[in-house]
Amino acid sequence: SYVLTQPPSVSVAPGQTARITCGGNNIGSKSVHWYQQKPGQAPVLVVYDDSDRPSGIPERFSGSNSGNTATLTISRVEAGDEADYYCQVWDSSSDHPGVVFGGGTKLTVL
């Protein structure tokens, strides 16, 4: 089955730029979605189809996807961005197609 690999943690100072990666075999050929999850809350979609933002998500959130790595970029990081972030794709390559999540990355705002 398809595997997505994320770093367990990323730390950044307020006002700086955070980059969270998501690695997968030829992930550039797939559409990648990103979710933000704060403690005790349900996940929220922040980027879809590699780089699009749902209504209401700040422009500070952006994404890219090429080769074997997709990246979520958060510009001008704020304390309120501290959360877990998950990447996700649809894997149609196996006998059991379905949603695949990365292991998640904890973003700490220093």
Partner 1 sequence: QVQLVQSGAEVKKPGASVKVSCKASGYTFTGYYMHWVRQAPGQGLEWMGRINPNSGGTNYAQKFQGRVTMTRDTSISTAYMELSRLRSDDTAVYYCARSGLYCSGGSCLDIWGQGTMVTVSS
Of residues 72-91, which lie at the interface with partner 1 (CB under 8 A)? 86, 88-90
Write the Ramachandran bin of 28: left for phi over 0, alpha for psi from -120 to 50, otherwise beta: alpha
> Please, which residue, 59 or 95, has the CB nearer to partner 1?
95
Identify the residue among 31, 64, 68, 75 touching partner 1 (CB under 8 A).
Answer: 31
The separation between the first and the last C-alpha atoms of the chain, rounded to the nearest angstrom, is 36
Kindly state the smallest distance separating residue 84's Cβ from partner 1, in Å: 8
Identify the residue among 7, 23, 43, 60 touching partner 1 (CB under 8 A).
Answer: 43
The Cα-based distances of 97 to 1, 56, 74, 91, 101 in angstroms read 9, 30, 30, 5, 13
> Please, which residue, 37 or 76, has the CB nearer to partner 1?
37
Does 24 bind partner 1 (CB under 8 A)? Our answer is: no
Kindly state the smallest distance separating residue 12's Cβ from partner 1, in Å: 21
Q: Looking at 21-29, 38-46, 59-67, 75-83, which segment touches partner 1 (CB under 8 A)?
A: 38-46
